[in-house]
Amino acid sequence: MACGPRPVHRRTEEVPSLPKSPTRRRPLTRAALTDSALALFTEKGFHATSISDIVERAGLTRGAFYSNYRDKEELFLALYDAHTERLLSELREAATAPRPEPGSGTDSASGTGSGSGVHPVMQLHERVTGRTPQERQWFMVSMEFTLHAARHPEVARALAVHENRLTEGLAEVVTTALAGAGRRPDLDPEDLARLLVAAFEGLTARQLVHGTGEPTERLLTHLMNALSAPLGPSDEGQ
């Protein structure tokens, strides 16, 4: 009972602070809706969360929801795009980060330095292994939505467009990371990106079920070595 009055009090404080101009207010409204939706999708799941739940948590009206999003699916895809943008930004930073000096502790301990030639790619892996609570939560929410899309062709087509954007960005990042290790993809970079996403999703699911003892890093290292090749003279200047 003690937590009952708090949402009302919070909404009372927040509403007057919104800009009066609809143009300036819209980004704040959309942010409130997406933040509310992500929290609820994480707590209850996509299917169990209603639009009424989302607007109540956000302190907004159903009219505010429908003036920004057609339905719950469109709101999720906005969350997907925001996650993709943040993830690719982090991965680009990791792909271009300075590598540890050969023989350093990181290089030898991880087995991902100059000796194995895939250290930058494993830096990417460190960002997206699902070890942080936020990434684990996002993985479960996105997998639930994927299953939802599989049962609804229109939703599946929309999700595929957004997934393709992630694939294109990831292909660019992985190519850059491999080049930093003196390697190149041994197949089309977008095909490599698709394989990495499939491997990541499968291995993350196994980690959630079997625990952190799953040999994710070792398996991804083998995968990257199998699907890439050392740069040669013909690759100079490419």
Percent of the chain with pLDDT over 90: 45
Q: What pLDDT sits at residue 17?
A: 53
pLDDT exceeds 90 at position 46: yes
47 falls in which pLDDT band (50, 70, 90)?
A: very high
Do residues 68 and 32 make contact, with C-beta atoms less than 8 angstroms apart?
no
pLDDT at residue 9 is higher than 70: no
Is pLDDT above 60 for 40? yes
> Is residue 225 within 8 Å of residue 217, measured between CB atoms?
no
Q: Within 96-152, where are the H helices? A: 105-110, 119-128, 133-150
CATH, range 72-235:
1.10.357
pLDDT tens profile 141-155: 999 999 999 999 999
pLDDT over 90 (residue 37): yes
User: Which position has the higher pLDDT, 124 or 51?
Assistant: 51
Q: Is the pLDDT of residue 78 over 70?
A: yes
CB 139 within 8 A of CB 157: no
Q: What pLDDT is stored for residue 44 in this prediction?
A: 95
Question: At 21, is the pLDDT very low, low, confident or very high (cuts 50, 70, 90)?
Answer: low
- Predicted confidence band of residue 79 (pLDDT cuts 50, 70, 90): very high
Q: Are 122 and 217 in contact (CB under 8 A)?
A: yes
What is the per-residue pLDDT across 169-217, written as a single tens digit (0 to 9) for each? 999 999 988 888 888 899 999 999 999 889 888 888 888 888 766 677 7
Q: Are 111 and 221 in contact (CB under 8 A)?
A: yes
In contact, 72 and 174? CB cutoff 8 Å: no
- Condensed to tens digits (0 to 9), the pLDDT of residues 111-160 reads 444 444 444 566 566 655 545 778 888 999 999 999 999 999 999 999 99
The closest alpha carbon to 176, from 136, 231, 129, belongs to: 231
Q: Label residue 54 by pLDDT band (50, 70, 90).
A: very high
What is the rounded CA–CA span in Å between residue 211 and residue 208?
A: 6
Listed by start position, the domains of the chain span 5-66, 72-235
Instruction: Write down the pLDDT at residue 8.
Output: 38
